[in-house]
Amino acid sequence: MQQKLQALVRQGRDLSLITSAQHEHAARMLDEIGRLLGGWRKAQARAATGATEHDANTP
């Protein structure tokens, strides 16, 4: 889904529907959303298995 949104934002820039500054801002926001969702998914997976964050950081 994130890749699809990135492609649409890029296409908007290529078609001059958004400015380069708007494209940069949208790309930064999409990256941040991706990191947040990745962390949330990781936390959900740990919760489903009963693991703690300490368990995940222990070698």
Q: What is the 3-state secondary structure (H, E, C) of 18-29?
A: CCHHHHHHHHHH
Q: What is the pLDDT of residue 33?
A: 94
Measured N-to-C along each axis, helices 20-49 and 2-14 cross at an angle, to the nearest 10 degrees, of 180
Q: What is the pLDDT of residue 55?
A: 62
Q: What is the pLDDT of residue 50?
A: 83
Q: What is the pLDDT of residue 54?
A: 64
Integer Cα distance of 9 and 27 in angstroms: 8
pLDDT along the chain (59 residues), means of 10: 90 96 96 94 91 64
What is the value of pTM for the model shown?
0.69
